[in-house]
Structures are given as C-alpha cells and as structure tokens.
Chain A
Amino acid sequence: NAGVTQTPKFQVLKTGQSMTLQCAQDMNHEYMSWYRQDPGMGLRLIHYSVGAGITDQGEVPNGYNVSRSTTEDFPLRLLSAAPSQTSVYFCASIPGTPPYEQYFGPGTRLTVT
C-alpha cells in the first residue's frame, strides 16, 4: 500500500492564481480530511469528507473547495490564492473502525507571493 499520497510537494503561486492539491489513499478509508499547519500553530481543519459524495467544512474553509467523487481521491482547490494561504497542507484519512489512527500524506508546502 502507498498509504496517503499528496502532490505536489512544493508549489509557489502568485496572488490570484488557482490550483488543485491532489490527495489519494489506497486503504479504502471512508473519512478523509485536509489540514493546514502554520508555524507555531496546531493543525487546522479546512474540509473533510465522511465518504464519496459527501463533504463538509472544517474550521477554516474560506478560499478552498473540495470534492469527493471516489473513495480514493480528495482534491483541495484554491480558488484565488492569497498570501495568507501560505502554509503546509496535509491530507489525512481515518479508518472506520478503531483504533482511529489518522494517516497523513507527506504534505504540500505552498507559498503565495
């Protein structure tokens, strides 16, 4: 199993550009989520999904869209990048049965200039 994969690992955007961060998992986990992590802060939930076709907002959803057309994929779209979105983005998945260990992708480091 590859676990949770994310692409790209690094990205630089100009203000106003849009892009999609890709996330995929091959563990058949129903629950997937996107976090951002800023220096000195904990992980903050952007959006999450409890299964294909179902998404919901987390703590900091503004400026981001998600979709979940398959169990495996959960892309995060930045609509119009802003410098405040400079951060490290982690995608994660959780199995539906205990222990509810969260499996993380390696992260995407995004810089918006």
Chain B
Amino acid sequence: RKEVEQDPGPFNVPEGATVAFNCTYSNSASQSFFWYRQDCRKEPKLLMSVYSSGNEDGRFTAQLNRASQYISLLIRDSKLSDSATYLCVAMDSNYQLIWGAGTKLIIKP
C-alpha cells in the first residue's frame, strides 16, 4: 500500500465549478501536511500547508482529519489557470516528505 494515496484523475471540470481532491496517508506519525501544485514539466510549488483546524486561502480550502488520516483540498470557482497536477505531501518527525503521485485537474472553458 502506498503511504500517500491520491486519485490520479484526470478530473475534467467546467470553469467556475467547485472541485474537491482527497488524499489518505498511512503513517499515523505524520506531523505536517501540504498541498503542492505542479504545472507540466515544471517543479512543484507550495499551494498551502494543511492545519488541523482547516485553513482557507482565497478560493482554496484545505482540511485535515487525523482520525481518518485524510486530507482534502477544495477549489471553488475554478479558473482555467487552475489546470495542473495537485500533489499531497505528508511529513514525518524526521522531516521526511512522502509524496502522493498527484491528481491531474483539467479546467474546461
């Protein structure tokens, strides 16, 4: 079983729609969690950290459920520029980052 699992997609979503990504992690000792965005043939860039209380940044909302070992990312009012691959990451106490394989999102006009 992969340590961090994501639905690979692709998710084909019309512009303006709301889209949700889910991610599960197997290491209960994981301490920090992140969502990264990766555009085609580019390096990953941090989208947002995920806090236990949930956090929001504009159209993006991230949630963490430690009991279920589950992380989510919600994108509201999706834009064409949101098309990318979204990577879920868990960090353990040794600063080791375990990456999901990513979920590809395609926003259609």
Contact = CB atoms under 8 A, between A and B. Distances in A.
Contacts of A99: 32, 49
A73 B59 CA distance: 37
A31 interface: yes
B91 A90 contact: no
Interface residues of A, number: 23
Interface string A95-113: 0001111101111000000
Given A31-B95, A100-B91, A102-B97, A43 B32 contact: no
Contact of A45 (B87, B96, B100): B96
Interface string B16-52: 0000000000000000101010000111111001000
B99 A105 contact: no
Interface residues of B, number: 22
B8 interface: yes
Nearest to B8: A40
B101 interface: yes
Interface in A43-73: 43-45, 48, 50
A40 B49 CA distance: 23
B102 A42 contact: yes
B48 to A, nearest CB: 10
A2 interface: no
A104 B43 contact: yes
Contacts of B4: 42
Top 6 closest pairs, chain A to chain B, by CB: A104-B43, A42-B101, A42-B99, A43-B99, A101-B46, A99-B49
Interface of B: 4, 8, 32, 34, 36, 41-46, 49, 87, 89, 91, 95-97, 99-102
Interface of A: 31, 33, 35, 40-45, 48, 50, 88, 90, 94, 98-102, 104-107
Given A106-B43, A107-B42, 5 more contacts: A44-B99, A100-B95, A101-B46, A101-B49, A102-B46
